[in-house]
Amino acid sequence: MTTLLKSNYNQPKNIEKTFKELCKEFDNCIIGVNSSKFNTTIKNKIHSEEEAEALKADQDELNNYFEISEIRVDNEDNKKKLLKVNKMNNDMEEFLDKQMENENNSKIHQSKNDEIFQENQLIFSKYKKTDKEPRKDGNVTKWVNVKNEDEEYAFKSISEKDKRSVQNQVTILRELHDWQNIIKFYGLTNDGNKWYLVTEWAEHGNLREFYTNNKNSFDTKLKLRVSLDIARGLNFLRTVEIFHRDIRAENVLITNTKNTAKLTNFKLSRSYNADTLNQHHNLEQIRYCAPEILERTPGFKYNNKCEVYSFGILLWEISEERTPYENQNGFIEIVKLVLDKYREPFSENSQEMPDEFKNLALDAVNHDPEFRPKITTMFEILSNCFKSFENSSHIPL
């Protein structure tokens, strides 16, 4: 994907050229190869061809996404931003790998992150707390800028032991500041020994709180738009090689008067190839977990198909306005249902939702990951659903 970002999204010929060069190299390597090395050479070159084909498929897929979305990667500033975030994320992965390999190396890399963090640390005295009722058991409070109270912020309490890991992530998250459907991260600040993660304030809370408190206004059009917002955010994360890893209603915030949905609480601690089986999952997370995660197969690697599955469950929840597997409150009970291929069916609550939407949600939670749609395809289908609904609602009776 790093190679993909470094190429021009609108020049698929670069991919074709690379592919042809690889094929030519393959042909040249066959000449003069002795029989003992022939099989190895064949396997290596076939693997190179497969990688080139996969890269071309990724290029075409993302080109299509950018064509139908509002992200303009032909803008130089946007290109630089994508490359910068991608580079920072890769550096973070390298740092974490070194941290596991060598304690001395980890200290060197951490000191670099500490320097970046110190340069961007927020000054606590520039903010003041409001009388707004705290959220999440008092861990999230509303603050404003002392000089401009129209600037609203969410202060999330973090423990001293979590400060460094959050600090490392915020170094990258701040670069996502101006991208649609990603909650804005401003940085960290402290009041003595109390540390806070400062983000954009979401007036309407998380998605589950929103649809629970706004039954009358959470209509079909808004459901489709919120779903499209989430898909747009997930597709952007994909371009910078970041997995969310915890897609669920509580990690989608609804902001401003337009009820815009934005992603929050995503993790940066592992890359595409990282093993996530040791990650702790609480009961709420389990409701959205793909079966391949729950099976705990040795060597399993978290991938984009897991994200698609979680998004499919979330689409069902948006349509139904209910918690997935709400009648099951046991960890083992939910796992058994999912592994037995049971999925929550759509009810009469979803009768006004487009069939394309419901079919997409069902496809996304297919037990076999290979039959799930790509996240870019999901965006395209949801975009068409929203446009079709808007057009039909404007047709005079």
Does one domain contain both 157 and 21?
Answer: no
Query: pLDDT at position 324, please?
Result: 97
Per-residue confidence (pLDDT) for residue 382, from 0 to 100: 97
User: Is 56 inside any structural domain?
Assistant: yes
pLDDT, position 118: 62
| 257 and 177 within one domain | no
- 217 and 156 within one domain: no
Same domain for 19 and 110, yes or no, is no
Query: What pLDDT, in 10s, does the model give residues 126-183?
Result: 999 998 888 876 789 999 999 999 999 999 998 877 777 777 677 777 777 667 799 9
Q: Are residues 355 and 370 in the same domain?
A: yes
Residue 379 is assigned to a structural domain of this protein: yes
Is residue 61 located within the same domain as residue 91?
A: no
Domain for residue 74, yes or no?
no
If one counts the domains in the chain, the total is 3
Question: Is the whole model's pTM more than 0.95, yes or no?
Answer: no
Q: Is residue 109 part of a domain?
A: yes
Name the more confident of 131 and 261. Answer: 261
Report the CATH number at residue 241: 1.10.510.10
Q: Could you tell me the CATH number of the domain that includes residue 141?
A: 3.30.200.20
What confidence tens digit (pLDDT) does each residue in 1-35 have?
444 444 444 444 555 555 556 556 555 554 444 44
Q: Residue 78 domain-assigned?
A: no
Q: Give the pLDDT of residue 340.
A: 97
Task: Answer whether residue 272 is part of any domain.
Answer: yes
The token duo for 78 is 């946007």
How large is the average pLDDT for residues 195-213? 94
381 plus 299 within the same structural domain: yes
Provide the pLDDT for residue 386: 96
| 106 band by pLDDT with thresholds 50, 70 and 90 | low
Does one domain contain both 214 and 286? yes
Q: How confident is the model at residue 275 (pLDDT cuts 50, 70, 90)?
A: very low
Which domain range does residue 236 map to? 207-392
Domain-embedded: residue 73 = no
Assess whether 227 and 196 both reside in one domain.
no
Whether 173 and 59 map to the same domain: the answer is: no
Mean pLDDT along residues 64-79: 56
Split at pLDDT 50, 70, 90, the class of 273 is very low
Per-residue pLDDT at 38: 46
- Identify whether residues 61 and 100 lie together within a single domain: no
- The whole-number pLDDT of residue 225 equals 97
Q: So what's the pLDDT on residue 22?
A: 58
Last residue of a domain, one of 179, 200, 221: 200
Q: Are residues 20 and 94 in the same domain?
A: no
Round the average pLDDT of the chain to a whole number and report it: 78
What is the mean predicted confidence (pLDDT) over 261-278?
Answer: 60
332 within some domain: yes
